[in-house]
Chain A
Amino acid sequence: MSLVTSHFVPVLLWTDALIFMLLIVSLAAVWWIRRHAHLRAPWAAVARRPMAMGAALVLAVFVVIGLLDSLHYRERLDDSPPDRPQYSVEVLSVFDALAGRLRTQQEKTYSAPLAMHLYAKEFTERDGATVRDYPRLKYGGAHLKQADEYVPDIVRRILVGLLQGLAGSLLLFGLLAAWQARHERMRLGGWLSAWATGHLGWPGRTVVIVLTLMLILGAVMARLAAGYHVFGTDKVGQDVLYISLKSIRTGLVIGTLTTLVTLPLAIVLGIAAGYFRGWVDDVIQYVYTVLNSIPGVLLIAAAVLIVQVAIEAHPDLFDTAAARADVRLLALCVIMGVTSWTSLARLLRGESLKLRTLDYVEAARAFGVSHARIISRHIFPNVFHLVLIAIVLDFSGLVLAEAVLSYVGVGVDPAMYSWGNMINGARLELAREPVVWWQLGAAFVFMFTLVLAANLFADGVRDAFDPRLEERR
Chain B
Amino acid sequence: MFAYVLRRLLYAIPILVGVNLLTFALFFVVNTPDDMARLQLGAKHVTPEAIERWKVEHGYDKPLLLNTRATGSAQLTDTLFFQRSAAMFAFQFGKGDDGRDIGNEIQTRMGPSLAIALPVFVIGLLVNITFALLMVFFRATYLDLWGVVLCVVLMSISGLFYIIAGQYFIAKLWNLLPISGYAGGIHGLKFILLPVLVSVVAGIGSGSRWYRTIFLEEIGKDYVRTARAKGLSEIRVLFRHVLKNGMIPILTGAVVVLPLLFMGSLITESFFGIPGLGSYTIDAIQAQDFSVVRAMVFLGSFLYIVGLILTDISYSWVDPRVRLQ
Contacts from A to B (Cβ < 8 Å): 286-287, 289-290, 292-295, 297-299, 301-303, 305-306, 309, 312-313, 396, 400, 403-404, 407-410, 423, 426-427, 430, 435, 440, 444, 447-448, 451-452, 455-456, 459, 472
Contacts and interface: CB of A to CB of B under 8 A. Distances in A.
B166 to A, nearest CB: 12
Given A292-B304, A294-B22, A472 B285 contact: no
A409 B288 CA distance: 10
A430 B153 contact: no
B286 A409 contact: yes
Given A287-B18, A404-B267, 19 more contacts: A286-B18, A290-B19, A290-B301, A293-B19, A302-B290, A305-B31, A305-B285, A309-B31, A309-B35, A312-B39, A403-B158, A408-B266, A408-B282, A410-B285, A423-B164, A430-B164, A440-B164, A451-B158, A452-B153
B301 A294 contact: yes
B170 interface: no
B220 interface: yes
B156 A451 contact: yes
A306 B31 contact: yes
B18 A305 contact: no
Given A294-B300, A301-B293, A455 B266 contact: no
Given A305-B285, A452-B153, A295 B15 contact: no
Interface in B265-301: 266-267, 281-282, 285-286, 288, 290, 293, 296-297, 300-301
Nearest 8 pairs of A and B residues by beta carbon: A290-B18, A293-B301, A295-B300, A452-B156, A451-B156, A293-B304, A306-B31, A301-B285
A286 B11 CA distance: 10
B26 interface: yes
A306 B263 contact: no
B193 interface: no
A183 B228 CA distance: 51
A430 B158 contact: no
Nearest to A453: B156
Contacts of A444: 157-158, 161
A447 B297 contact: no
B168 A303 contact: no
A441 B293 CA distance: 33
B67 interface: no
B27 A302 contact: yes
A451 B23 CA distance: 33
Contacts of B301: 290, 293-295
Contacts of A427: 164
Contacts of A430: 164, 168, 172
Contacts of A423: 158, 160-161, 164
Contacts of A426: 164
A287 B172 CA distance: 47
Interface in B136-159: 152-153, 155-159
B21 to A, nearest CB: 9
Query: Which of B155, B158, B305 counts the most A-chain CB atoms under 10 A from its CB?
Result: B158
Nearest to A401: B158
15 contacts: A290-B19, A290-B301, A293-B19, A294-B300, A295-B260, A298-B297, A306-B30, A309-B31, A396-B155, A404-B159, A408-B282, A408-B285, A409-B286, A430-B172, A456-B152
A40 to B, nearest CB: 27
A306 B24 CA distance: 13
A302 B297 contact: yes
B14 interface: yes
A448 B152 contact: no
A298 B15 contact: no
Given A286-B15, A302-B26, A410-B285, A297 B35 contact: no
